A = this chain, B = another copy of it.
Amino acid sequence: MSQTTLETYFSKVDELKPAFIQRLSDAVAIPSVSSDEGLRPQVVEMAHYLKEQLANLGAVDIELKELGTQPPPVINSTLQLPPVVLSRFGKDPSKKTVLIYGHYDVQPALLEDGWNTNPFELVLKDDKLYGRGSTDDKGPVIGWLNAIEAHRNAGIELPVNIVTCFEGMEESGSLGLDELIEQERDAYFKGVDAVCISDNYWLGTKKPVLTYGLRGCNYYQVSIKGPGADLHSGIFGGVIAEPMTDLVRVLATLVNGQGEIQIPGIMEMVAPVTPEEEALYKDIDFDVSDLTAASGSNTALYQSKKDILMHRWRFPSLSIHGVEGAFSSGGAKTVIPSKVIGKFSIRTVPNIESAKLDQIVIDYVNAEFAKLGSPNTATCELIHDGAYWVSNPHNASFTAAAKATKAVWGVEPDLTREGGSIPITLSFEEKLKTSVLLLPMGRGDDGAHSINEKVDMSNYIGGIKTLGAYLHYYAASDTN
């Protein structure tokens, strides 16, 4: 790939900026809220909008893949899941094939939630584009279409074959997508060399990042059962063993005030920090003040950048979420709850084995409960789990993305992980046996699920350039 090609592409993106803003504006105007059954027609409308746009841009084999009816709980039991929009640009066997994933559904949004402007109208203010989906994830999805249009318009051949996979249920658990990936693995998705997902954010607001890891999450509950019904503490206080007493004593043994997991055997499974990994943290643009701002409090457990990021990204954590069955309202109630259920979860990282973790946790909770000598009964169980994901941030796809970032932004991207999970990442990697790259467009302060969601104009335009440039650098890479 010549430097001229990229420069031509970048110029074309700048030239088409008004059209690219209009396209995002058209997309934001469709309130494709997947969690609102009443808005399901608008989610489907958004799929049709994408189909039309893709057709205009020259895509072939366009399919709206139906995923069947939405499983319970639903109000309307015949509610159809929104389709997955599949399409192709190019089928050249001599080229690499990149699958681009994004989602066209959005989080709910109401003006009265505190938005400064109508959430379903793209508004430009102070060089920021406000609107629901502007950054999560219509900005990146439309960004891909824009990148393709810029190529077309500039007469630049796409350097790779592209397969699009745009879903409409991401904000509601990606229902049906796993099955679709499995089903199309050797069909529509056959020959995919790399997957690129643009659905997360820069760590901060100044420096672009590439994301190579996500923590997993194993969620547990411990149920302690005593009396047959809730009792009055005046009559029964002091004479029967209270489940809530047992529960707080068990929960208190899980993690200490410094956030250190107290269950033996978990930290032992964590992969040691290698010098190579350690070096990744050195240049990352982050500071304890970013954490303080984000949490709205001076309650950080660590002060150094490396400690904070490592504990967010590559060490496990244990959070106690709450108690079901106990008194939970304001005021005072003299109840002895008969059955209480404590909820906690552990964020998992390499090389924690999920099944082994479950056994360690359950055995530990049972042992701690047994120490109490309580006549109540306790049960600890896993409610759900999702595995961690870590990629090699120096593979061909990441290297191409780093070069693209450098070409657009003039800096090497920070290599980051995230503390939460994006389960579909692992699905693509495992089912398609390809590397997955997380190439974010927006900034850490975009407010993805909040009011006044925005994408900075520079990120939107810079992001379109980066997505296109990535395709060129990846096409030119030696490795597959």
A residues with CB within 8 A of B: 215, 217, 219, 221, 226-229, 231-242, 244-246, 248-249, 251-252, 255-259, 291, 294-302, 308, 311-312, 315-324, 326-338, 343, 345, 347, 372-376, 383-384, 418-421
Q: B238, B245, B248, B321: which contacts A347 (Cβ < 8 A)?
A: B238
| Other-chain residue from B237, B241, B244, B372 in contact with A419 (beta carbon distance below 8 A) | B237
User: By CB atoms of chain B within 10 A, which of A237, A245, A257, A338 has the most?
Assistant: A237
**Which chain B residue lies CB-closest to A373?**
B257
Do A248 and B320 touch (CB < 8 A)? yes
Chain B residue nearest to A331 in the complex (CB)? B383
What residues of B have a CB within 8 angstroms of the CB of A317 in the complex? 233, 237-239
> How many copies of this chain does one complex carry?
2
Is B322 in contact with A334, judged by CB distance below 8 angstroms?
no
B376 touches A242 (CB 8 A): no
Interface centre among A228, A238, A372 (most CB of B within 10 A): A238
Q: Which residues of the other chain, B, contact A334 by a CB distance below 8 angstroms?
A: 217, 219, 319, 321, 345, 420
Kindly provide the distance from the CB of A357 to the nearest chain B CB, expressed in whole angstroms: 15
Give A221's nearest chain B residue, CB to CB: B332
CA of A343 to CA of B248, assembled, Å: 12
Q: Which of B232, B241, B327, B421 contacts A259 (CB 8 A)?
A: B241
Q: Which of B228, B233, B259, B373 contacts A295 (CB 8 A)?
A: B228
Report the minimum CB–CB distance from A120 to chain B (whole Å): 25
In the complex, how many angstroms separate the beta carbon of A350 from the nearest chain B beta carbon?
15
Alpha-carbon gap, A336 to B295, bound state (A):
11
Chain B residues contacting A420 (CB-CB under 8 Å) are: 232, 234-235, 334
Q: Given A299-B375, A372-B257, do A315 and B227 touch, yes or no (CB 8 Å)?
A: no
Residues of B within 8 A of A257 (CB): 241, 245-246, 249, 372-374
Q: B312, A321: Cβ atoms under 8 Å? A: no
C-alpha gap A318/B336 in the complex (Å): 10
Distance between A453 CB and nearest chain B CB, rounded to angstroms: 16
CB-nearest residue of chain B relative to A226? B299
Decide if A322 touches B311 in the complex (CB within 8 Å): no
B-side contacts of A252, CB under 8 Å:
248-249, 251-252
The answer to whether B302 touches A239 (Cβ under 8 A) is yes
Query: Smallest CB–CB gap between A291 and chain B, Å?
Result: 6
Judging by beta carbons under 8 Å apart, are B373 and A258 in contact? yes
Q: Is the CB of A301 within 8 A of B238?
A: yes
> Does the CB pair B337–A235 fall under 8 Å?
no
The answer to whether B318 touches A328, judged by C-beta atoms less than 8 angstroms apart, is no
Q: How far is the CB of A297 from chain B (nearest CB, A)?
A: 4
A317 to B229, CA, bound (A): 19
Closest-CB distance, A337 to chain B (whole angstroms): 7
B244, B326, B384: the one contacting A332 at CB < 8 Å is B384
